[in-house]
Amino acid sequence: MICPCPGTARLRTLRDNEIHIWSATSALPDAAALAVLSADEHARAARFVFDADRWRHLTARCLVRQVLSRYADLPAAAWRFEANAQGRPTVASGLTDPPLHFNLSHAGPAVVCALARFAEVGIDVEQHVPTEFREIGARYFATDERAWLAAAPDDGAASLRFLTLWTLKEAYVKARGAGLSIPLERFSVLPDDGDGATLRADAVIDGAPARWFFVRRMWLPGMPLALAARLPDGGVPAVSWLQYDATAPTAP
């Protein structure tokens, strides 16, 4: 639960070695939450045909604004955003010192947002498995990823492996801020035996693959989530998982 206005709750601390991941189930936000959105955010929501898509968009926009105001003394309605050449949104320069970096993803009922102080962070959650997932894997996955996908014992396991790989690769390119301008088949992110993964890439794609940190989790059964972060000084960040309620964001 979060509060939309500075001064009504103590600001959260986000240290340089921490990543906070906020998650929500998409729903129609309450009136107080909707009031902080910009005219452009409301106009974009109005263009969605289906209620589920509209609510997911509204939940995501409310989550970003309300959550950011838990870390900086700025009202939720005052946040401004910029986008890079690939369309990745960032907090407008000069609004916070030190900077706050965030990345957002949503699929089905899930809306997730990752926050960090140290530059690159990317997050992705997926639900839908395309019927042609094997063909997509053959085209966009690296050799070792294709081998891991092919080794799945059955179709159900294979489809889940596909989503796992896709979230890891998507989280990485989102953290890079380069979108699909990075050829997906030129690098691999393979799950390890725990809840992480390992990046393999040549120097042209990434000059320091060992600096990347990954964490995986199931948001719901069959809905894998992946986080990617580039660590400026090595080490392993502390990851906190937090819950946002879009229908009651002003509760204490």
In a domain, 191, yes or no: yes
Residue % of the chain over a pLDDT of 90? 74
115 and 130: one domain? no
pLDDT at 85: 75
In a domain, 3, yes or no: no
141 and 167: one domain? yes
Distance CA 25, CA 4 (A): 18
143 and 114: one domain? no
Query: Strand, helix or coil at 56?
Result: helix
Distance CA 33, CA 41 (A): 12
Domain at 51, CATH number: 3.90.470.20
81 and 168: one domain? no
Per-residue tokens: 113: 């947002």
Q: What is the DSSP string of 151-200?
A: T-SSHHHHHHHHHHHHHHHHHHHHHHT-GGGS-GGGEEEEE-SSS-EEEE
Express each pLDDT in 31-75 by its tens digit. 888 999 999 999 999 999 999 999 999 999 999 999 999 999 999
96-105, 126-135, 177-186, 192-201: least confident range:
177-186
Domain span holding position 149: 125-230
31 and 100: one domain? yes
129 and 226: one domain? yes
* pLDDT above 60: residue 3: no
Express each pLDDT in 195-233 by its tens digit. 999 999 999 999 999 999 999 999 999 999 999 999 887
Express each pLDDT in 125-161 by its tens digit. 999 999 999 999 999 999 999 999 999 999 999 999 9
Number of domains in the chain: 2
| Cα dihedral sign, 233-239-245-250 | negative
